[in-house]
Amino acid sequence: MTVSANYDAIAQCNKCGFCHVACPIFRATGHESGVARGRLALLRGIIEERVEWNEDMEDPLFTCLGCGACTTNCFGSVPTADLVLNARAEYLDNVGKKPAHRLLFEHLLPYPKRLHAAAKAVALGKNSGASKVANALGLLRIFGRDLPKAEGIVEKLPMSSFRGTIKPGQYQGQGEELKIGYFVGCGVDVIQVEAGRATFESLKKIGKSVTVLDNCCCGLPPWSYGDVGNTTLLAEKNLKVFTAADLDVIVTDCSSCASFLKKYPKVFQDDPQNQELADQKLPMIKDVVEFLYATEHGTVEHKRSSEEVSSYHDSHAAVGTEAVQEVVSGDRPAVVTYHDPCHAVRGQGIKSEGREILKSLPNVEFKEMAEADWCCGGAGSYALTHYDLSQKVLDRKMKNLKNTGADILVTSCPACMIQLGWGIRKHGLKTRIFHISEMTAYKETVPQ
Ligand code: SF4
Ligand code: SF4
C-alpha cells in the first residue's frame, strides 16, 4: 500500500500535540521530527509532493520505535506506527534496501538451520572475543553504522540453539486433551534458550502433546523494516507448518511473535486464499502469557503434589528455573516487577495477566514500576541500528526500574529481555531479569 493510499488516515491528525507526552523518542530528543505529529506532517508532505523521497527521510521514518504509544494518547487514534511502516515500504522501493537486510531477510530468517549455524558462528566469535577483533577492524560496520557500538548488548550467546537440543517434533505431555504447537521465535531459539526450555516444560505439564514446530521467523523484522515481499514469504512458510500439524492451539513465548502471528490476515490482504487460511488459524494463536493465565484461571486444573515436584526437580529443573529459585528463596519475599512489551500491551491488549501470574507466586512481593508499558528502546533490532537513541529510551526505563528496588524484572519478549539485561549491566543494578515462563516454571517446583 502506498503512502498516498493512507491520505485520509494521515489527515486525521489535527496537530493537537497530545502524542508528545507519550512518545519515548520525543521525550528523549525533543525533536518534532521524532514524534507522531512530525512524522505524519512529513508523510503528508510526500503525498502533496512538497517533499521528495531521498536518504534524508531515513531518520524520520526509521527512528520510530513502532511502539504505538502515540495512538493510545491520540483522541483520533491515528495509527502512526502502521502509517510509518507503510511509508518505509515505499521508501525502500524508491531509495533501496541495505545489503545486510537482504542477507538477513532473504538468506537467514526463512531457514532456521542457517540461522542456527550463523548464531553458532557469532557465539564462537563473541565468546572467544573474536567479534572485538572484527569490530576493531571495522568489519561489523557492514551491518549498520551502530552495530559496532551495540556489540556489547548481548552478553554471551549459547553455543546450542533451543531447537538444536530439543528438536522439532511431537513430545508427550501430562495433560489429557490439548494438542499444543510451540512456535519458537528466533530470539528464544538462539539467545534466550533457558526461557524456551521453561516454556516447553510448562506446556508439557498442560498439554496432552507438545509439538515443537519447525517454524521460521514470524516475519516481524522484515515487516517492521518495510519489506513486505520477504514478510509474505516467511508468513507463507509458517502457515504451511501450522496446517501440516494436528493442533488445538499454537503458543509462543515471544510477545512480538504472538502479536505478529495474529496480524497474518492483514499480511495477506492481497491474497484471499492465504488470508482465509490465516483467518482460520487466528483463534489458535496464543501469547504464552495469556495461555498460562487462562490455564491457571480456567479450564485446566493443575495442582502439584510433593511427588510431582520432586520428579520435576529430577527430570526438568532448568538453569533458568534454578536461577529464579536462588533469588526467590531468601528470608524475605523477593520484590518482582514487570515490563510490558509493546507487542503485548498495545499489540494484543495483554496487561493484567502477567501481573496476576506474578502475584500468585510464592515468596514474591509484586511492585509496579512507573511507565511499565513504555517501550524499552529494544524494538527488535532498533538498538543495533539506532544505538544512541535506544540508550536514551533505555536509561529512562532503568531509572524507573531502580526506583522499584526490584530483585527481579519479568517480561515476555526476548528482544526486551536482551535490551533490559544490557541496561541492568550498564547501570550496575543487581536486579535479575527472567522470562515469565521461567517464573511459572519456578512455581512448578513449589508444593501446593
Ligand atoms: S495526538 Fe494524534 S491528532 Fe494530535 S498531534 Fe498527535 S497524532 Fe496528531
Ligand atoms: S510509535 Fe512510538 S516512537 Fe513512533 S511516533 Fe508513536 S510513540 Fe513515537
Angle at 352 between CA 350 and CA 358, to 5 degrees: 115
Residue range 300-317: average pLDDT?
37
In the predicted structure, residue 397 carries a pLDDT above the cut 90: yes
Percent of the residues in the chain that have a pLDDT greater than 70, as a whole number: 80
The model carries a pTM of 0.82
pLDDT of 5 > 70? The answer is yes
Is 125 near ligand 1, meaning CB less than 6 Å away?
no
Q: Ligand 2 centre from 48 Cα, in Å?
A: 23
Among the residue ranges 56-70, 102-116, 167-181, 431-445, the one predicted with the least confidence is 102-116
The residue written with cell numbers 500491551 in the block is 345
Using 50, 70 and 90 to split pLDDT, how confident is the model at 138? very low
Looking at residue 129, what is its pLDDT? 59
Q: Bigger pLDDT: 244 or 149?
A: 244
pLDDT of residue 119: 64
The pLDDT tens digits for 78-101 are 999 999 988 888 888 887 766 666
Beta bridge partners of 211: 170, 181
Residue with CA closest to ligand 1 atom 3: 13
Q: Does ligand 2 have an atom closer than 6 angstroms to the CB of 226? A: no
Among 61-75, 154-168, 348-362, 396-410, the range with the most confident prediction by mean pLDDT is 396-410
Write down the pLDDT at residue 394. Answer: 94
pLDDT digits (tens, 9 = 90+) for 110-123: 767 766 676 666 66
Residue 404 banded pLDDT, cuts 50, 70, 90: very high
Which carries the bigger pLDDT value, residue 376 or residue 225? 376
Ligand 1, atom 8, residue with closest C-alpha: 13
What does the pLDDT read at residue 240?
Answer: 95
Cα dist. 115→107, 167, 338 in Å? 9, 15, 30
pLDDT value for 121: 64
Does the pLDDT of residue 276 top 60, yes or no?
Answer: yes
Smallest CA separation from ligand 2 atom 4, residue: 64
Residue 106 identity (one-letter amino acid): E
In the chain, the domains with their CATH numbers are: 4-95 (1.10.1060.10), 99-150 (no CATH), 162-294 (3.40.50), 315-444 (3.40.50)
Closest ligand 1 atom, residue 36 Cα: 7
Indicate whether 68 pLDDT > 50: yes
The whole-number pLDDT of residue 318 equals 42
What string of DSSP letters covers 40-95?
HHHHHHHHTTSS--SGGGHHHHHS-----HHHHT-TT---HHHHHHHHHHHHHHHH
Task: Name the pLDDT band for 447 (thresholds 50, 70, 90).
Answer: low
Identify the residue with better confidence: 284 or 98: 284
Say if ligand 2 is within 6 A of residue 68 CB: yes
Compare 288 and 101 and report the one with higher pLDDT.
288
Q: What is the DSSP letter of 446?
A: S
The reported pLDDT for the residue numbered 147 is: 56
Cβ neighbours of residue 195 under 8 Å, at least 6 residues apart?
188, 253, 320, 414, 417, 434, 435, 437, 438
Cα-based distances in Å from 55 to 6, 141, 226, 374, 384: 22, 18, 15, 29, 19
Q: What confidence tens digit (pLDDT) does each residue in 209-221 have?
A: 999 999 999 999 8
Residue range 252-257: mean pLDDT, rounded: 95
